[in-house]
Amino acid sequence: MTVHATALRPAEPGDRAEILALLSKTLSWVPDELFERFFAWKHEQSPFGPSPAWVAIDGARIVGFRTFMRWAFDDRGGV
């Protein structure tokens, strides 16, 4: 058995397909065009900016994904 150390790094645009495959598998989402458009709308095209995201890797394989959506809150007329 080969043991790899898991490492964390910022997600890169080239990780998108592997991230979508991981989310589809772990969240039981259907990997279709609607799923891809929803992910893009939520994390890549948000009016508040792209979501900061990280991946956990084991060797060359992505085994984890974490992202945080950006939000702007209006507080008595100020953001």
> Tens digits of per-residue pLDDT, 17-72?
999 999 999 988 888 999 999 999 999 999 889 999 999 999 889 999 999 998 88
Structure tokens belonging to residue 32: 């279709």
In this prediction the pTM is: 0.81
Kindly write down the DSSP assignment for every residue of 31-71, as one continuous string: -SHHHHHHHIIIIIS-TT-PPPEEEEEETTEEEEEEE----
d(CA 30, CA 39): 12
How many residues does this entry show for the chain? 79
d(CA 21, CA 31): 7
Contact present, 18 and 39 (Cβ < 8 Å): no
